[in-house]
Amino acid sequence: LLVFTDLDGSLLDHDNYDWQSAAPWLDRLRDKAIPVIINTSKTRAEVATLRQELDLYAPYIVENGSAVILPPEWCLNEAVDDSGWAVVHLGADYTRIRDVLEAVRSQERLSFRGFGDMTLQEVVERTGLDEQAAERARDRQGSEPIVWEDTPDQLTHFQQLLAGTGLSLTRGGRFHHVLGEEVNKGAAVRWLCERHEAIFEQSVRSIALGDGENDVSMLKACDRAVAIRNDHGRVLEVEGAYMTQHSGPAGWAEGLDHWLGHDKEADR
């Protein structure tokens, strides 16, 4: 069994980034050696720190499917870097995304701000992260979070312009995210499940937990899905998904209780 999870609004509380209520399930999954695979809009630098705080050891997916980070046991031909892990890029290049954004903004006179346009202080204020964490959030490789300050019609127009340059747009909890074409959390899940089968020579069952629009592809890519109520009280509608009453980490635990609580699935 592989557990794929979103962070903000799912495993982590949307406002204070806490995971208290999920801790008992994290312990149980760790005891059973079931990998908990983070699949998030966050950057490699952010997740490298968070996974240690969460005491998780497993591959992870960053920037909405833009890259997969592998521990040595999950590598085939990839070489690990100084950190001892390997990075597989599945998305667009960050410098190219910034170039396209700057060109589109000046040519079309659109108003939006990306992390690359903001001071560190502005990122701190908009995210509620402390300075070090905000620094890690700005260390991007394949996607750019933006704040849209123009009309909804212009957003549709913007999305079409992006498509013409081979980029796309998705929605996180707070920001829109500009990233590569056909790059999404679900595609990265499929990539990792295939890698699991190639290495461990057995097909794998999967469960996904998420609360945002950018999680839908991940929920659909897994055998079991948990749609966690978001902080506005809304729940994603995904066929077959269990919809939680609670939000954040309490909803996360509720979802695992539902799918893994009473049967033997968590024992396999």
Q: Does 42 bind ligand 2M8 (CB under 6 A)?
A: yes
3-state DSSP of the chain: CEEEECCECCCECCCCCCCHHHHHHHHHHHHCCCCEEEECCCCHHHHHHHHHHCCCCCCEEECCCCEEEECHHHCCCCCCCCCCCEEEECCCCHHHHHHHHHHHHHHHCCCEEEHHHCCHHHHHHHHCCCHHHHHHHCCCCCEEEEEECCCHHHHHHHHHHHHHCCEEEEECCCCEEEEECCCCHHHHHHHHHHHHHHHHCCCCCEEEEECCHHHHHHHHHCCEEEEEECCCCCCCCCCCCEEEEEEHHHHHHHHHHHHHCCCCHHHC
Which of 145, 186, 210, 248 is in the footprint of ligand 2M8 by CB under 6 A? 145
In the complex, the smallest distance separating the C-beta of residue 162 from ligand 2M8, rounded to whole angstroms, is: 17
> Which residue number places its CB atom closest to Mg ion?
9
Count of residues in contact with ligand 2M8, rule CB under 6 A = 14
Which of 172, 186, 210, 251 is in the footprint of ligand 2M8 by CB under 6 A? 172
Stretch binding ligand 2M8 (CB under 6 A), from 38-46, 79-87, 105-113, 221-229: 38-46
Distances (CA, A) of 67 to 38, 60, 81, 189: 12, 9, 14, 11
Contact pattern for ligand 2M8 over residues 175 through 204, marking x by CB under 6 A: x-----------------------------
Catalytic residue (choose from 6, 13, 211, 215): 6
Please report, as residue ranges, which positions from 9 to 48 form the binding site for Mg ion (by CB under 5 A): 9, 41
Please report, as residue ranges, which positions from 114 to 143 form the binding site for ligand 2M8 (by CB under 6 A): 127, 129, 137
Stretch binding ligand 2M8 (CB under 6 A), from 76-84, 86-94, 171-179, 260-268: 171-179
Helices 23-31, 248-260: crossing angle, 10 deg rounding: 40
In the complex, the smallest distance separating the C-beta of residue 48 from ligand 2M8, rounded to whole angstroms, is: 12
> Is 18 annotated in the active site?
no
> CB-wise, 9 or 255, nearer to Mg ion?
9
Please give the positions annotated as active site.
6
Residues that bind Mg ion (CB under 5 A): 6, 8-9, 41, 172-173, 211-212
Residues that bind ligand 2M8 (CB under 6 A): 8, 41-43, 46, 127, 129, 137, 145, 172-175, 212
